[in-house]
Every structure is written in C-alpha cells, then in structure tokens.
Structure 1
Amino acid sequence: MTTDWAQERILVFAPHPDDETLGCGGLLSKAKRAGAEVLVQFITVGDTADESAKGYSTAEERYAEIKKVSDHFRWDDWNMALPGDHFHLRLDTVAQVDLTQIIERESPISIARAQPTVVLAPHGSSYNQDHRAVARAVHTALRPSNTAVRHHPRLVLSYEEAADQWRTDPVASPSLIVELEEDDLDAKVEGMGLYGSQAHEHPHTRSEPTLRSLAVLRGMQAGVALGEGFHVARCLA
C-alpha cells in the first residue's frame, strides 16, 4: 500500500494533549512534510498530577504546551472539545452518544465538518478509561452508512502508544507500518519534549528511548529502519 500523503486531510482524535504525538507524531511529521492538511481534535484537559517540582500542571500550562507543539508540527487547526477537571480522566462518565455527537458533527473540526480522508484514533485496548471512551465514540461516529448521508474517510487507523502494551487481553500486532525517516522520528521526539509537563526520563513509556525503541521495532517488522504501527479499521483502495 502506497499513500500520497500530500493529497490527504488527516484528522487525529487525541483524548489528551500528547496522545497524538506519542501515537502518530512520526506520521504527522511525514504527512505534513509531504503537504497534507493536519487537524487535531483534543477531547479533554485539566489540572494534572505530574513529576514537576510542584507536583502538578495546570490546564493553562497544558494549553501553552499545545500551542508550542502545534507550531512545531505546523498543524492546520486544533480544538479542545471538553476542557476542565469535570471531564479530564472522567470521559467514561460522559454518555457515549454525547461524545459521539461531538466527534461526528458538533465540533468545529468534526468528521462531518472537516470531511477528512484519514482518521487516526486511540486503540480501544488501552488501560486508560479516557482512551477507551474516545476509541468507542470514534468507532461509532464512523459506522458504515450511505456515503451520500454520512462522510466516510477512506482510511481509518488506530494508533498505538507504548503504554498500551500494558493489558490483559491479547491484541494482534499492528497491521499497518508507516515508514519514517530519521527526521520524522526526531520531530516526534522533539514534539514530546515540548510537552514538558508530560515527558519523563527513561525508563518510562513517554521517554525518548522508549519512543525511539518502538520506532526501531516497528520498522524492523516491515524491513525498514524506522516505523510507526497502526491497526486498520477501514481502508478503501
């Protein structure tokens, strides 16, 4: 499968700021460098416990990080759907129909409004309740239908994060590997570094060695030097 990323409009659903970089930062770098349009829909953010000197980061600090990362990757637009502590790390308490409506048509960069050709979303096997809630809602929003009635992106992928390997149910290896250049991996690592409140030293699932090691592993599985792995939900050739 060969994709001309220059022709694509990519919409990424990230439960929290940094998930898009951890899961598909290399692909976003590669696609944007080729000329793709990239939109990122964050779902929620709030005050977050971290390992900084004060022990937490505020939502305002997280917004500042998003702006730095957006400039770094040159995203065309981004949006935050449900800001605040009422939703952050509590998306499993939001009715799935409400979350699906935001993703499908209510957000300024919803599927119906943005009409992406490619959608990227978290994998439903994550231990994180917010990730699972977003994965289910995106899956529902992209349910099969008449294309004259509902927009159908040509390519729908679930991205992986190293932390997702912590699970009890077996999950197949990624079914699609996107080859990365060294510059794409460097852009991913640098982007994660701009999320200063969320980056960690090794050994940690969000450390630089972890990101580089996973890229080497996925690349090796496809016979190339570096790659990012994805699970295919839809691919219209």
Structure 2
Amino acid sequence: MLPFNSYPMRPGSFAATLGPTVVIAPHPDDEALGCGGLLALLRQQGVPVAAVLVSDGSMSHSNSLLFSAQARRAVRETEFCHALTLLGLDATEPLLLGLPDGRVPSSTTEPGFAAAATQLQEFLEQHAAATVLVPWRRDPHPDHRATSQLVAVALAAMDKPPRRLEYVVWAWERAAPDDLPTAADGVQGFRLNIEAGLRQKQRAIAAHRSQVAPGVFTDDADGFLLSEEMLAHFATPYEVFFEAVAP
C-alpha cells in the first residue's frame, strides 16, 4: 500500500513561503494533475509563478490521421496554456521546450539534453525562482524521470539553486516498491491542504479535453485517455510532495 495518505499535512498557507515559483511539466496536464492545487494557492496568495512544458505532447493519439503530429502538439499546448490561465498563471508566457513526447532525453549524452538544460537554467534565473516544482525523480514514466534529470543538471549549474519540491503523478497508479522514497534519497514526504484551490485544479484538469474525454482526436480509438480511477487520485483536497531534508 502506498504511504502517501499517512504523510503529515501542511496548511494551504505554506504556499506563501515558497517565493517566486516555476512549475515544470513533462507533458501538458502534469502541471494540473500533480500540483494544480498548489499553483492555484500560490496565485491566490500573490506569489509569482511561471511554467515550463518539457515535451511536445504529440504522442497521446499517435494513430490519428486527421491530426498531424504538429497539429496534436498545437492542441495540447493550447490546452496547457488554457489550464495555466484557469490556475491564475496568466501573466507570463510559458517556456515550451518541445522535446519529443515519449523520448525526452535523460542524460548529457543524448541529443537535445544539454541545450534544454541550459534553456531551463536561464528561465529559472530570468524568473528569480525561489522554488521549482518538478516530478518525483522516480515517478514511473520515462519522460517524468528524464525531466527530473534535466532539472537536476540545470540546478547544479546555478550559483543559488531554488528550493526543489517533487510532485507525484503516475506513482499513484504504477509505483513499484523501488519507485518510492528511501532513506538514501534524503527526502521527506508531506501532504499539502489544497482545499481552497481544488475547484480551480479540477477546472484545469478538465481543460485538457483531449486527455480526459473522447471528442478531440476523434479518429484514434486506441489513443490515451486518463481513466476515472486515475483522475480520482487528483480529486482529493491535498497533494503529495517530497522535499530534501537537511543533512
């Protein structure tokens, strides 16, 4: 059984302590699923927030003939920007890295990794990020893990790297024992009360129409859709995060 429900709860006012924040999403919808409630709270409390989208999001309905890969990318980036607006992030253009969905590079030896890490570092510095929100390092999706590696390299290159909070998405459904935190990770888990931002979070999730209901990419019956069981994890009034503990 996952330990998430036993983690200590922090109040929604915790958001105000994070300072200027950048959320990094591997795919359009991860920002709403994993930390949409926190994003809403940050904006409610007047904290600046900017966003980064790592992949092009084009592979969820890869068999579509009506929508080319470029058209699928455009749909999903539009959904991403709409969801951000619903969460209150309407002042800053997101950084769209456009890396290949399903094949986000995970090491400096892979094409595109170094350039993306540099772009990410520059974006964090440009926005004077005090906190970065990133997928849990072993969230069980290769693009989520690759995103974690990109962020790690970007932070390592900064003189004053921001605080790092790691959120969970696929760990709710797919986590194996080895995917969960261990003492060697040096992190502590906590739940954040997002009751005041839950309605906005649900609206932001729904804004990703191509991922929650059929009717956008209509000619790919086998295309990806979030299941009701998966969505139920993100309808609760709290979100789960991991943060490094002091040595």
TM-score tier after normalising by the smaller chain length: 0.7 to 0.9
RMSD: 3.0
* Aligned 8 A contact 1:6 1:31 in 2: no
Normalised to the residue count of structure 2, the TM-score between the two structures is 0.73
Evaluate the alpha carbon distance shift between residue 167 and residue 69 of structure 1 in structure 2; reply closer, same or farther with a 3 A threshold: same
| Higher RCO structure (Cα 8 Å, ≥6 apart) | 2
1: CA distance, partners of 2:136 / 2:22? 15
Q: Percent identity?
A: 22
Q: How does 1:146-185 map to 2 (within 5 A)?
A: 150-153=159-162, 155-163=163-171, 165-168=173-176, 169-172=178-181, 175-181=189-195, 183-185=196-198
Evaluate the alpha carbon distance shift between residue 112 and residue 234 of structure 1 in structure 2; reply closer, same or farther with a 3 A threshold: farther
Normalised to the residue count of structure 1, the TM-score between the two structures is 0.75
Number of the residue aligned with 2:38? 27
Gaps of at least 5 residues in structure 2 are 1-9, 183-187, 213-224
The number of residue pairs the alignment matches comes to 209
Q: Which amino acid aligns with 2:34?
A: G
2: CA distance, partners of 1:162 / 1:46? 16
1: CA distance, partners of 2:102 / 2:18? 35
Q: How does 1:56-135 map to 2 (within 5 A)?
A: 58-75=72-89, 76-83=91-98, 87-92=100-105, 93-94=110-111, 96-105=113-122, 110-135=123-148
How far did residue 210 of structure 1 move? 2.8
2: CA distance, partners of 1:90 / 1:13? 17
SS of the residue 1:8 aligns to: coil
How far did residue 98 of structure 1 move? 3.0
How far did residue 137 of structure 1 move? 1.5
1: CA distance, partners of 2:103 / 2:63? 23
Number of the residue aligned with 1:15? 26
